[in-house]
Amino acid sequence: MQQRTRNALYLGLGAALGLSLGLSRGVLADKPPALGAGMPWQDAQLFAEVLERVKVDYVNPVDDHQLLQAAVRGMVSSLDPYSAFLAGEDYDDIKINSSGEYSGVGIEVALQDDEVVVIAPLEGSPAAAAGIKSGDVIVTIDGVAVNTSSLDDTIGRMRGKDGSTVKIGVEREGNAEPLVFSVKRQRVELHNVHSDLLEPGYSYVRIAQFSETTGEEMNAALRALRKQNKTPLKGLVLDLRDNPGGVLEAAVAVADAFLDSGVIVTAKGRTPDSKFEMDATPGDVLQGAPIVILVNGGSASAAEIVAGALKDDHRATLMGRTTFGKGSVQTVIPLTAQTALKLTTSLYYTPSGASINHKGIVPDIELPRDDKAREETELAPRDDPDVRRALQELKVPTVSHGDAVTAALPPRG
């Protein structure tokens, strides 16, 4: 893959929007621009005056650090919905989502009826080894009751330094008293790729989000499916519904796996590093077998890069609903004191040169299904009507005429 940029770029996660971002691994310039350079003195005076009035007249005392942090946050967030000043847990979450790993107990939890319920311990995780099970209700962490109004608080308390120990108290059906598990934290890998063999020859791969390891995970999943099938795969349903984004390079790796050549994505911005092009390399892991990509309004950012690249190259059929339309790139610039600036630096474009920002990608085949109903029922792939419809599309015979691929018509009498 050719790459015209020195930065490693990422498409990050944020709420349900699928933020796209680039995490700069380089060092800051030797001589950063002078603070306030070019700022009109009237504006500088106004800022100082407001700061002083707040310090003196606000109903509660506020220290300088708190006020200046708030000023920085407000300045950056006013630019667009995706630029932000990152500190503390916000910065940690960005790094966890992009790297695909963290130090903790390896457990999936959810709030259900004001209880923190274990969905499942990750396979091979410390939580699984300790004996925590699906359906357990977490009631205490290190002897302190969990905050049922903030799932993030519970998750944050279970994470910690690799090798440290946390005591997790759970209520389990059939047990009169809570059980307490002593769990040793360790590095936990997030697995965002889930796969299945829908029927002989036809595979299903869901990518929940893109992290640094997603490309490798997907290729490993396809190898396992080929081995299970014992013959080459006849088609793939690639499920990107409700995928909010992730690492750009992982999205490029996923698209590249199915393309022999051509542009995957380009980006344009004001600085040299914000202008880049990423191209496909020879080799198609499916050897030309058809692909149907499922998308919806929750498919954003990195997911849209994959969908746009394979659609523009006529390598896949898009099915579902119009995607979110997140076509900007944010670069995460590390600052002092374990803080960072997430700043919009460029717009990206699909191979055809189209910008999907605020527009999204319209699928080739639109499905009127209510996505909310699908989320609430959590259907298995084989039971999901969208997946069944995609499988039906994979089985439509096709014939190739030069660069075009069309459905084969039955003979006419």
What residues are labeled active site?
Answer: 301, 312, 326
Contact yes or no for 254/236 (Cβ under 8 A): no
Which pairs from 123-132 meet CB under 8 Å and 24+ separation?
Answer: 125/188, 126/183, 126/184, 126/185, 126/186, 126/188, 127/168, 127/181, 127/183, 130/105, 130/168, 130/181, 130/182, 130/183, 131/181, 132/105, 132/107, 132/168, 132/170, 132/181, 132/183
Phi, psi for 66 (deg, rounded to 5) = -65, -45
User: Whole-angstrom Cα distance, residue 255 to residue 349?
Assistant: 14
DSSP codes joined into one string, 32-80: PPPTTTT--HHHHHHHHHHHHHHHHHSSS---HHHHHHHHHHHHHHTT-
User: Whole-angstrom Cα distance, residue 274 to residue 28?
Assistant: 16
* β-bridge pairing 291-295 and 235-239: parallel
**Nearest C-alpha neighbor of 210 from the set 182, 237, 249:** 249
Q: 10 Å Cβ neighbour count for 261?
A: 11
User: Whole-angstrom Cα distance, residue 244 to residue 230?
Assistant: 34
CA distances (Å), origin 59, targets 67, 70, 72:
14, 17, 22
**Nearest C-alpha neighbor of 247 from the set 205, 298, 303, 299:** 303
Phi/psi zone of residue 124: left (φ > 0), alpha (ψ -120 to 50 degrees), beta?
Answer: left
Q: Is residue 333 helix, strand or coil?
A: strand
Contact yes or no for 324/353 (Cβ under 8 A): no
CA distances (Å), origin 155, targets 1, 116, 194, 204:
37, 10, 23, 30
Tell me the two tokens of residue 107: 């457990």
Contact yes or no for 343/330 (Cβ under 8 A): yes
User: Whole-angstrom Cα distance, residue 299 to residue 324?
Assistant: 6
